[in-house]
Structure 1
Amino acid sequence: MPLTLDQLNAAPPAEAEQMLDGLFEHTPWIANEALAQRPFRSLAHLKHVMTEVLAKADVDRQLALIRAHPELAGKAMVANTLTAESTHEQGKAGLTECTPDEFARILQLNADYNAKFGFPFILAVRGPRGTGLSKAEIIDTFARRLAHQPAFERAEALRNIHRIVEIRLADKFGVAPALGNDVWDWHADLAQHSDPGFAEQGQLAVTYLTDAHRACAASLVQTMQGAGFDDVHIDAVGNVVGRYHADRAAQGAKTLMTGSHFDTVRNAGRYDGRLGIFVPIACVRELARAGRRLPFHFEVIGFAEEEGQRYKTSFLGSEALIGEFQSAWLDQSDADGVTMRQAMAHAGLRVEDIASLQRNPADYLGFIEVHIEQGPVLNELNLPLGVVTSINGSVRYAGEFIGQASHAGTTPMNRRHDAACAAAELALYLEERAAQDADSVATMGILQVPRGSTNVVPGRCAFTLDLRAPNDPQRDRLTADVLARAQQIAERRGVGLALEETMRVSAAPSDPAWQQRWERAVESLGLPVFRLPSGAGHDAMTMHKVMPQAMLFVRGENSGISHNPLESSNAEDIELSVRAMQRLLDDLARDLQAA
């Protein structure tokens, strides 16, 4: 019989320790120390306590845990001496049925990995869905992680151990992330649609109003209709809009809006944007199945465009809803010379209807968004969810230092006017200055010496600046300091400086009341509330201009990488995000009914 949390909380210490035996490979002390913090409010709470216990352990104890694990398809598997748990996991991934070539490749990877790191390669081979990674995925991950630095790879091994424990714990308690699995599967199904040139390579790219984009929109319509939405349609800019009507007894009911984008960058991951569409769809499906209505309308929008990949404008979908869609955008052309107007006509969209999409903010309670973090913070902290405090404001510049090109062999060091060295000095200052602030970031993303030569002192150096901070005053102080230092560097080195501001976007602080709703939802799951800013832009930034907004982040796997095929989330984390949104909806319904 599966265990229950009540049994674990009530059991005598020795019996409780036996219940959790086998979670950590030959290393019971982690679960045993965690039991001192009973009672656990949820399995998520128990998992978090165990991650905290291991995080506080010294490096020697952490390495001992890693070394207690067997190699993948290694000697222990061949000798049939794996634990029952490891046997099941490696078998589910097909490692017990390797071809001779696969086995030889894994043996070599094991040898190379051990030689570099001094511990075995650890991978949660049952994967993010719990059904098992393919042997090709395992081998590719093995090879990729060989390039990591030792300290980082030790942390990555521990993160995979926590994932292994999470799956083993679910087995012990007989629970499955049913909602998370469904949402995970919806992502996989939608990822079948990809633009030409990428689809053939097994890569994901869905740019505005291409055939793949329109196929995604049609798929979302079908998913929303199947989930029980009352109204579903594609609007005049290609947004997919689903509405779940309020209880008829709720006179004058307002609307809560949520959603995110379904377009992608080129060679993308599956979860950026799309997670914020599928999570609320799952919530509506559960409401419809229960025959339950809320005292407010619930509007879920799959925004058609956010990434700015096909045309030189981003946030087209959300800009239309706040009345800021610019008619001049219709005349922009893509790389093939197709104007936006032509693309819309081909998709059957009526540009004359775009103005009518503008929402009246008075009809809305606010906007909420769930999004994969797109960064490493939650991943490194072993936290599945984080509450966003603000979407960073940003400013960008295109710049150039203009010095004097001269012979690299005959120009003394004290007589040079090296434009590249000026840019390099500024790049290092960006690191130094941004680190002085909480959550400021500064990047020199492009650094080029036009027509550079090995034996010539660079006479010109082009560069870009991307400066971001959680609020506009902090961003502006950072910007002022960076520009002042750039001028100082130019004067001291005797070079010219040209700077052009290319973009300025205001920060979007989370509405305090809505942020607190997300915080209460996270806390209700037995998880600590962790607050962090968003360094990336989101549709919530646009909606922030006309209504209160707040966001929830979901941990990304593979160091939180995004805009990349390695972008990933697991079914358990997705399940928690669905549960968090369900709790927010329930709390909002209670508050409105009590008002």
Structure 2
Amino acid sequence: MTDPSLLSLEQLNAATVAEFTTWLDGTYEHSPWIAERAAARRPFVSLAALKRALVEVVRESGLEAQLGLIRAHPELAGKAMIARKLTAESSHEQGKAGLTDCTPEEFATLQQLNADYNAKFGFPFILAVRGPRGQGLGKAEIIATFARRLLNHPEFEQAEALRNIHRIAEIRLNEKFGFEPLLGQQVWDWCEQLARHSEQDDALTVTYLSPAHRACAAQIAHWMETECGFDQVEIDAVGNVVGLYHGSDSAAPRLLTGSHYDTVRNGGKYDGRLGIFVPMACVRELNAQGRRLPFGIEVVAFAEEEGQRYPATFLGSGALVGQFDPAWLDQADGAGITMRDAMVQAGLPATLEAIAALARDPAQYLGFVEVHIEQGPVLNGLDLPLGIVSSINGSRRYLGQISGQASHAGTTPMALRRDAASAAAELLLFLEQRAAQVPDLVGTIGLLEVPNGSVNVVPGCCCFSLDIRATTDAVRDACAADTLAELQRICERRGVSYSLRETLCAAAAPSAPAWQARWEQAVAALGLPLLRLPSGAGHDAMKLHDILPQAMLFVRGLNAGISHNPLESTSCDDAELAVLAFQQLLELTAKDTA
């Protein structure tokens, strides 16, 4: 029976502006003007579309209105809470986070943080204390977040406050509609539970074929078998976990999907793993419904993508496209254990014959799709939960060294110096300016080191890196050529020399138009605007691109989209939308292949 106290889109779409505003009262703290303006944007085809309309109203309202919205919120554990003057919604949220039951020390810390924050920014600290899962953050996490955000730039912090306000509104809307993102919660919970397996007690680190890595593989395989209903599950010769859900005809072509389950050292819980668990959730739903599609679904949890234990990046997906380098087997890790020995210890065959047998026949597959957390700030900054990847950037990387003359910092006149670090700094500024001139081109000197440097010595040597990426190889290569030419000119002018070697050249991987269009249709069906964006990071899809048409879907990350970091996060609601989009893609593919 439907709860008469709950809202429905049908009600809201048919309501007067006054009714609409009244029914959404409390969604945004003391700010009914947001709902009133959003009423003009009806009809809404989904709850996600309603949430987006409210976000757009705030984005378009101007600075003063946005500051007014922020200032309409109470401090955490502040005077309004003490005086019991919080709104019912805020009282419930702060209570759920335990802020109504602080120790004297916790309360004193929060009061000082509130004072420091208001002094710096001029508005109260806003945090969606219900958190990404919706069940409430712990007090220690709230205090740590408070202290961390005190370091932000005022303009960024204002935007972060608004993002948290929208998250608060999202949770309140869910409750008004009686909506619970169960699919997203399942994906989120899988990510959290898998993160229990780590090589470090105080950080998430899962490198290739370590005990933690093997535990992750066993856990994923277990979930595929017992919770999702895959027809076949195996751990293959390189450690990939492969789950197959047959189509209505078991001999029908398959859709290949998945991502990696290894991590960087001290990494995040969602990088790669989100792209495993989203399609797993879809298979689980199909199995629960007893449904088969006209094609099979093959989900691969790739064993290695990050290149952390061995310098063999994309090992897992590379094996599927026949690009496993035999020399990798003899590489040794920091402890002197070769990859071959690590494979044997993990119970894998460790033979080139077994690995070569993993190569897929493109004729048996429709294509490859991958869901991935964005690993960047674009979606987060635009308050968009999903984005469609147009291309994975091609990249070139170099390691170089500039050699000058080390000399006394006090006695060497400026005009007579041969400063290697200054030459590298000049190159860094050139690359920054050159890359900024072209859309979707990025250039970075991430490594800049003066070996044996001293405060009173002119640098005689400087080691540096170059990383140049673009959506097309032509744009990338043009920037690389200009940068290398500038390096030569700088060195000649300064009387220094250089050496340079290329360490990586990866081709750009533009999305297949048909698969990108399916992602776009899937996102549009959810009532969300379309944003197409390139991926600056490398993904397993880059490898599969060599043999199959591919396309990717990005999911918004929290904390400004930070990734490869313990702060990497996403919300259950965004994970829910990713699952729904994947389900839409499956239905569109079924229609096209029927």
Determine if contact 2:367/2:549 at 8 Å carries over to the other structure: yes
Name the residue aligned to 2:134: 130
Between 496-505 and 223-232, the greater mean CA deviation after superposition: 496-505
The one of 69, 76, 79 aligned to 1:75: 79
TM-score, scaled to structure 2: 0.98
1:350-389 matches, within 5 Å, as: 350-352=349-351, 353-389=354-390
Distance 1:405 1:317 in 2: 45
Match of 2:282, SS?
Answer: helix
CA distance in 1: counterparts of 2:157 and 2:93, whole angstroms: 21
Aligned position for 1:295:
294
The whole-number CA distance in structure 2 between the counterparts of 1:574 and 1:493 is 53
What SS is found at the alignment partner of 1:286?
A: helix
CA distance in structure 1 between the partners assigned to 2:57 and 2:425 by the alignment: 42
Q: Describe the superposition over 1:376-434 as per-residue Cα deviations: whole angstroms up to 9, x where unpaired.
A: 00000000000001111101111122222222222222222221111111111111111
Partner of 1:306: 305
CA deviation profile, 1:324-382 (whole Å, cap 9, x unmatched) = 11222111111111111111111111123111111101111000000000000000000
How far off is 1:494 after superposition? 1.9
Write the distance in 2 (CA, Å) between the matches of 1:456 and 1:211.
Answer: 47
Deviates more, 1:352-361 or 1:135-144: 352-361
Shift of 1:213: 0.8
- Distance of 2:568 and 2:387 partners within structure 1: 17
Q: Which residue of 2 aligns with 1:563?
A: 564
Match in the other structure for 2:204: 204
Shift of 1:485: 1.3
Unpaired runs of 5+ residues, structure 2, are none
Counterparts of 1:572 and 1:32 in 2: how far apart (Å)?
24
- Tell me the SS of whatever aligns to 1:357: coil
| Aligned partner (choices 60, 63, 81) of residue 59 of structure 1 | 63
Q: Which residue of 2 aligns with 1:11?
A: 15
Deviation at 1:87, TM superposition (A): 0.2
Q: Which residue of 1 aligns with 2:391?
A: 390
Q: Which amino acid aligns with 1:25?
A: E
Secondary structure of the residue aligned to 2:463 is strand
Aligned ranges for residues 470-549 of structure 1 at < 5 Å? 470-549=471-550
Q: In the aligned structure 2, how far is the partner of 1:60 from the partner of 1:492? A: 52
The 8 Å contact of residues 20 and 35 in structure 2, kept in 1 or not, is answered as no
Identity percentage of aligned residues: 66
1:109 shift after superposition: 0.6
Of the structure 1 ranges 178-187 and 445-454, higher mean CA displacement relative to structure 2 is found in 445-454
Looking at structure 2, the residues matched to 125 and 194 of structure 1 have their Cα atoms a distance apart, in angstroms, of 27
Letter of the 1:253 counterpart: A
With 301-310 and 348-357 compared, the bigger mean Cα shift is at: 348-357
How many angstroms does 1:57 deviate by?
2.0
- Give, in angstroms, the shift of residue 490 of structure 1: 1.3
Please tell me the residue identity of whatever aligns with 2:346: A
Q: Counterpart in 1 of 2:160?
A: 156
Letter in 2 for 1:319: G
Contact map agreement 2:18 2:36 (CA 8 A) in 1: no
Distance 1:57 1:410 in 2: 60
**CA separation in 1, counterparts of 2:318 and 2:399?**
26
State the shift of 1:488 in Å.
1.5
Counterparts of residues 266-277 of structure 1 (less than 5 Å)? 266-277=265-276
Q: Residue type of the partner of 1:50?
A: L
- Structure-to-structure mapping, 1:103-252, within 5 angstroms: 103-195=107-199, 198-199=200-201, 201=202, 203-225=203-225, 226-248=227-249, 252=251
Match of 2:581 in 1: 580
- Number of aligned residue pairs: 587
Q: In the alignment, residue 359 of structure 1 is paired with which amino acid?
A: R
C-alpha deviation, 1:138, in angstroms: 0.2
Post-superposition CA distance 1:241-267 (Å, at most 9, x none): 00000103x8x5111100000011111
Q: Once the two structures are superposed, what CA deviation does each residue of 1:456-498 show, in whole Å capped at 9, x if it has no partner?
A: 2212111111110111111101101111111111122222122
Deviation at 1:502, TM superposition (A): 1.3
Per the alignment, residue 278 of structure 1 pairs with 277
AA in 2 matched with 1:105 = T
Alignment partners' CA distance in 2, 1:51 and 1:491: 54
Match of 1:321 in 2: 320
TM-score by length of 1: 0.98
C-alpha root-mean-square deviation of aligned residues, in Å?
1.0
Cα deviation for residue 444 of structure 1 reads: 0.5
Supply the distance in 1 between the matched residues of 2:447 and 2:244 (Cα, whole angstroms): 43
The residue identity in structure 2 corresponding to 1:119 is F
Shift of 1:23: 1.0
- Classify the secondary structure of the residue corresponding to 1:556: coil
Partners of 2:54 and 2:433 in 1: CA distance: 36
Counterpart Cα distance in 2 of 1:239 and 1:452: 44
